[in-house]
Amino acid sequence: MQRGIDYIGVGVGALIVNAAGEIFLAQRGPHAKNERGRWECPGGSVEFGETLTAALQREIREEFGVEIAVGALIDLVDHILPAEGQH
């Protein structure tokens, strides 16, 4: 089974703002599964048994080597990629 094709995966993303009010964005790499080169709020997939908060903290730690404090939920988004047949 493929996530996004046979079932819908759950992902998380962070709006990271530093003390100077600067927003951190990440650019998807040339080998990304989809949307290569796109700038986005960093995040990733939720693993089985993981809370949304724990998943977000893990993804940021793994990808960028920093620890974050997770604040309030800002938004929910349906990220549907019709051209790739993914949801």
Residue 82 has pLDDT above 90, yes or no: no
pLDDT for the residue 41: 93
pLDDT for the residue 86: 72
Mean pLDDT of 8-15: 89
Residue 32 has pLDDT above 70, yes or no: yes
The CATH architecture to which 11-84 belongs is: Alpha-Beta Complex (3.90)
Q: What's the pLDDT band for 46 if we cut at 50, 70, 90?
A: very high
- Distance separating alpha carbons of residues 46 and 54, to the nearest angstrom: 9
pLDDT for the residue 47: 92
pLDDT for the residue 84: 75
CA distances from 73 to 1, 38, 62 (A): 30, 23, 21
Give residue-wise pLDDT tens across range 68-80: 999 998 988 887 8
